[in-house]
Amino acid sequence: MPHPSRPTVTLHDVAAAAGVSVATASRVLGGSSRTVAPEYERKVLAAAAELRYTSDMSARAMRRKSDSIALVADDLTTPTIGIVVAAMERQARTVESFVSVSSTGGTPERQYETVRTLCALRPQALVLTSSRFEAKALGGRLLDELLAYEQQGGRVVVFGNTDMPFDSITVDDRGSARPMGAHLAQTGHQRVVILAGPRDKANVSARTSGFVEGLLSGGVDAQDVRIVNCEVSRQGGFDATTRLIEEGLGQVEAIVAANDLIAVGALSACRAGGVAVPSRVSVAGFDDIQLAVDVTPRLTTVALPLAEIGAESIRLALAPRSGAEAPAGPGAGGPTRETVLGTLVVRDSTTTRTS
């Protein structure tokens, strides 16, 4: 709160102390194109250091382009978003801008409200991350707001699946899951249970499709693949697996889950039920969260390049606008949509079967 209380030191003070005009002081301290006599430059620098001058970004923002980037996320407590944010920070730092972060809890209302608040800060760019960002949410009010922001010269980048017409970077869940299915098939797993989340979660069901495709391509019979829906959490995986074990695992040789949390639950249920992993049954997950290497046996999973995604979001956000040309043909020069693939990480929770 600088202004109510007076003792803030302003550019004016620095100029006075250095015995020059504010214009000169500004040119020295603000990195101007104009040159200043070395003698004056030295004086200004000395005065600024002496007075501990820091320029007021609010005032500065009124004349030059802002250098902040705003990130809107569902939840900052998940380990994955932490890694993405850290990478964004690092990347932003290389171009002298900085990132401010807000979380929305995932509700469209709070997303809308947060976006409005952040737009008021006139950031250079807005990066949105959500499991679900829908154009039609709130009757399109969110989309309208974002479009208006973009028309005012802002830049919007979405990390995640979205039908909004902005630059986006998404994980190819299906394509990333396919190698996992293929790997399990190649290592001799014939009968597989897939612990899928609920049917309506888009990224989760894409992973299930990928698993299935990979398994079939590896020669597994479609009849031998069983899909079990469960809650997306450790408990969900635990419960579903416990039920499986109670029913009798039968010929099942592998359990592959839509994410690591579910897989860890499955692992836990196996231990509780006396089912050896990986000798009796292999278990695999998706995401490569920190926990995956902390459990025993260490979890085979699919690693996502989260750091690269974070850095790339910032790069996209700062890149010169791609769709600058007039809206000519339909679909011509639309938003750039990047897709990244995860990589299979084989650890100790799966093995090779020779049966």
Binding site for a second copy (CB under 8 A): 1-5, 7-9, 52, 54-59, 61-66, 75-79, 82-83, 85-86, 89, 98-103, 116-117, 119-122, 124, 144-145, 148, 151-154, 234, 264, 268, 271-272, 290-291, 294-296
Binding-site partner at residue 117 among DNA, a second copy, none, CB < 5 to 8 Å by type: a second copy
Binding-site partner at residue 26 among DNA, a second copy, none, CB < 5 to 8 Å by type: DNA
CB of 224 to a second copy, least distance (A): 29
**With DSSP H G I counted as helix, E B as strand and the rest as coil, what are the percentages for the chain, rounded to 5?**
45, 15, 40
Q: What type of residue is 327?
A: P
Binding-site partner at residue 172 among a second copy, DNA, none, CB < 5 to 8 Å by type: none
Residue of 12, 116, 136, 243 that binds DNA (CB under 7 A): 12
From 10-18, 78-86, 208-216, 236-244, span contacting DNA (CB under 7 A): 10-18
Q: Which residues of 24-54 are buried (b: 16+ CB within 10 A; e: fewer)?
A: bbbbbbeeeeeebeeebbebbbebbeeeebe
Residue of 1, 16, 17, 35 that binds DNA (CB under 7 A): 35
- Pick from 246, 152, 232: nearest CA to 197: 232
CB of 42 to DNA, least distance (A): 11
Residue of 17, 24, 149, 214 that binds DNA (CB under 7 A): 24
Q: With contact defined as beta carbons under 8 Å apart, do 109 and 145 qualify? A: no
Q: Residue 147 is encoded by which pair of tokens?
A: 């479009």
Q: How long a stretch of residues is the chain?
A: 355
In the bound state with a second copy, the residue whose beta carbon lies nearer, of 119 and 345, is 119
49 is an interface residue for DNA by CB under 7 A: no
Binding-site partner at residue 180 among a second copy, DNA, none, CB < 5 to 8 Å by type: none
Q: Residue 76 is encoded by which pair of tokens?
A: 């900052």
Alpha helices in the chain (DSSP H): 11-18, 22-29, 38-51, 57-61, 79-94, 108-120, 141-151, 173-186, 202-217, 234-247, 260-272, 291-294, 306-318
In the bound state with DNA, the residue whose beta carbon lies nearer, of 10 and 217, is 10
Binding-site partner at residue 124 among DNA, a second copy, none, CB < 5 to 8 Å by type: a second copy
Q: Which residues pair with 344 in a beta bridge?
A: 302
d(CA 85, CA 87): 5
Residue 155 CA, chain-centre distance (Å), reads 17
95 is an interface residue for DNA by CB under 7 A: no
What are φ and ψ of residue 69, in 5° steps? Answer: -125, 130
Q: What type of residue is 47?
A: A
Please report, as ranges, the residues that interact with DNA according to CB under 7 A: 2-3, 8, 10-12, 20-24, 26-27, 29-30, 32, 34-37, 40, 53, 55-56, 59-60, 62-64
